């Protein structure tokens, strides 16, 4: 049998043979990681380094930032605020000693990470609290109590003629 080019219609538009659908093209673009292509230029192996993924939630009293950072201690972390920016960074050094030791597998990751967050209006950056417990970093940024609504009395001015 002869090979026939199949044209599918999508909303009345015909697609040429071999042309990807817009959704498939979008899926392919979302998988692309430009930083993995830059790794050899930066002297890194693909997948090397630390990636700290954060959960950020808002409660009535605070904003809470949580990250899994196994192997980090409080000495390895640096948390700063400047204006409305919260910056969380950390560095874990390689603890291997190559004094005649033979390593068969080295899968633990070492290196540094840094994340910066823009804080909304109404936070108290003077009372930020951070703790590391069981490999989980929790940073709490308290909210400032909103000032109570104040009623302004309107006075009438008498006009003299």
34-58 burial: b if 16+ Cβ within 10 Å, else e: eeeeeeeeeeeeeeeebebeeeeee
Strand positions, DSSP E, the chain: 9-10, 13-14, 54-58, 62-68, 77-82, 85-92, 111-118, 129-133, 136-142
pLDDT category at 63 given cuts 50, 70, 90 is: very high
Q: Are 4 and 11 in contact (CB under 8 A)?
A: no
User: Model pTM greater than 0.85?
Assistant: no
Answer yes or no: is pLDDT of 18 > 70: no
**Alpha-carbon dihedral angle through residues 144, 146, 148, 151, given to the nearest 10 degrees:** 130
pLDDT category at 8 given cuts 50, 70, 90 is: low
Residue 119 has what pLDDT?
Answer: 93
List the structure tokens of 82.
């400047």
pLDDT in tens, 24-41: 777 777 777 666 666 666
pLDDT in tens, 64-114: 999 998 888 899 999 999 989 999 999 888 776 777 788 778 777 778 889
Cα–Cα nearest to 74, from 126, 137, 141, 139: 137
Q: CB 69: neighbour CB atoms within 10 A?
A: 21
Q: List the domains of the chain with CATH numbers.
A: 50-95+103-142 (2.60.40.790)
């Amino acid at each position: 049998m002869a090979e026939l080019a199949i044209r599918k219609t999508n909303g009345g538009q015909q697609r040429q043979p071999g042309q990807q659908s817009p959704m498939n093209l979008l899926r392919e673009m979302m998988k692309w990681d430009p930083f993995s292509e830059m790794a050899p230029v930066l002297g890194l192996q693909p997948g090397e380094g630390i990636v700290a993924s954060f959960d950020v939630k808002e409660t009535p009293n605070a904003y809470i930032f949580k990250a899994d950072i196994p192997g980090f201690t409080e000495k390895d972390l640096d948390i700063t605020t400047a204006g409305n920016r919260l910056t969380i960074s950390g560095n874990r050094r390689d603890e291997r000693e190559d004094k005649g030791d033979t390593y068969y597998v080295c899968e633990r990751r070492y290196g540094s990470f840094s994340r910066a967050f823009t804080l909304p209006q109404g936070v108290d950056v003077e009372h930020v609290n951070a703790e590391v417990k069981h490999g989980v970093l929790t940073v709490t940024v308290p909210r400032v109590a909103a000032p109570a609504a104040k009623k302004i009395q309107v006075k009438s001015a008498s006009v003299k003629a």
